[in-house]
Amino acid sequence: MKKIIALLLATAMCVMTLTACGASKETMKEGVLVVGTNLAFPPFEMVDDNGNPDGFDVKLIEAIADKMGLKVEWQDMEFGALVAAIGTKIDASIAAMTITDERKKTVDFSTPYYTAVQYIVLPENSDIKTAEDLKNKTIGVQLGTTGDYAAQEIEGATVSAYDKAVYAVNDLLNGKVDCVIVDQGPATVFQNNNPGLVAVSGVEFDFATEDYGIALPKGSPLVEKVNKALEEVIADGTYDKLFNEYLATVEE
Ligand code: ARG
């Protein structure tokens, strides 16, 4: 009986104070936001010349964490591993991640911070011009991305999935795939870095637009805090500054 009472008391204390009970800790490490990403998706996330994380998402969440009084610690991982790692290995993920119903079963998302669409990267002389032409083609994608899912919907398509989008582009240059389906930002960067390749908006191929969100543990108090900090970062002009620095060149 005493044991039961002690247990009930301990539980009540936890509920009342919401501290020191493990489950209520907001981040894994005090004062730190451990953020997972996949540093191979320019201009959203990449490494700079010194090997440090860089890109629009990187700077955006660092500004958000700053408003929350937290320092960011980076974890570079495979894109497909991010969602499952949230709440266990990482506190949050920012990775040009599209808000999808499937992912929402596992994580919560912040307010959308960017709208994109899938693009088709093609050799300049490609005969692929319409959605119809994509049928029965060999398509390169990054594994576990919305580009991967879109390619799988195409009738008769053979989908080659790579750990990094740039590997798919290498196989496009080698002639091993007919095209690559990838988000607008990196598609435009790949076009700019590779003479002979063109990036065509998926809108012309009937692809719908996608919203990017910051993924957070389901039901976490971090969701509201991140949203509030995101609003502040927009209001004080930081968002626009970063947009001009990283994204202006990949917009149409
Ligand atoms: N927006 C796409 C998705 O959510 C691709 C994101 C890939 N991001 C990355 N950092 N590799 O599936």
Distance 68 CA to ligand 1 centre (A): 25
Two tokens at 252? Answer: 């149409």
Atom of ligand 1 nearest to the CA of 38: 10
- pLDDT, tens digit, for every residue of 20-72? 444 447 899 999 999 999 999 999 999 999 999 999 999 999 999 999 999 99
Question: Burial, 112: exposed, middle or buried (Cβ in 10 Å; 0-12, 13-18, 19+)?
Answer: middle
28-113+213-251 matches 116-210 in fold: yes
The enclosing H or E element of 114 equals strand 114-123
Distance CA 148, CA 163 (A): 11
- The full set of domain ranges for the chain reads 28-113+213-251, 116-210
Q: Which of 113, 112, 88 is nearest to 217 (CA)?
A: 88
Residue 25's alpha-carbon distances to 11, 74, 89, 205, 229, in angstroms, are 15, 19, 14, 45, 19
Distance 77 CA to ligand 1 centre (A): 12
- pLDDT, tens digit, for every residue of 160-219? 999 999 999 999 999 999 999 999 999 999 999 999 999 999 998 999 999 999 999 999
Atom of ligand 1 nearest to the CA of 164: 11
Distance CA 143, CA 79 (A): 8
Q: Which CATH class is domain 28-113+213-251?
A: alpha beta
Which amino acids bring their CB within 6 angstroms of ligand 1? 37-38, 40-41, 45, 79, 95-98, 142, 145-146, 183, 210
Q: Which of 246, 230, 220 is nearest to 64 (CA)?
A: 230
Q: Taking the domain 116-210, which CATH number applies?
A: 3.40.190.10
The stretches of 69-177 forming alpha helices (DSSP H) are 82-85, 101-104, 146-152, 165-173
Q: Which of 57, 78, 97, 164 to mutate to test the pocket of ligand 1 (most atoms within 8 A of CB)?
A: 97
The enclosing H or E element of 235 equals helix 222-235
Two tokens at 175? Answer: 């002639």
The enclosing H or E element of 61 equals helix 56-67
Torsion angles phi and psi, residue 105, rounded to 5 = -70, -25
Looking at 2-6, 29-33, 119-123, 190-194, which range is the least confident one? 2-6
Distance 121 CA to ligand 1 centre (A): 16
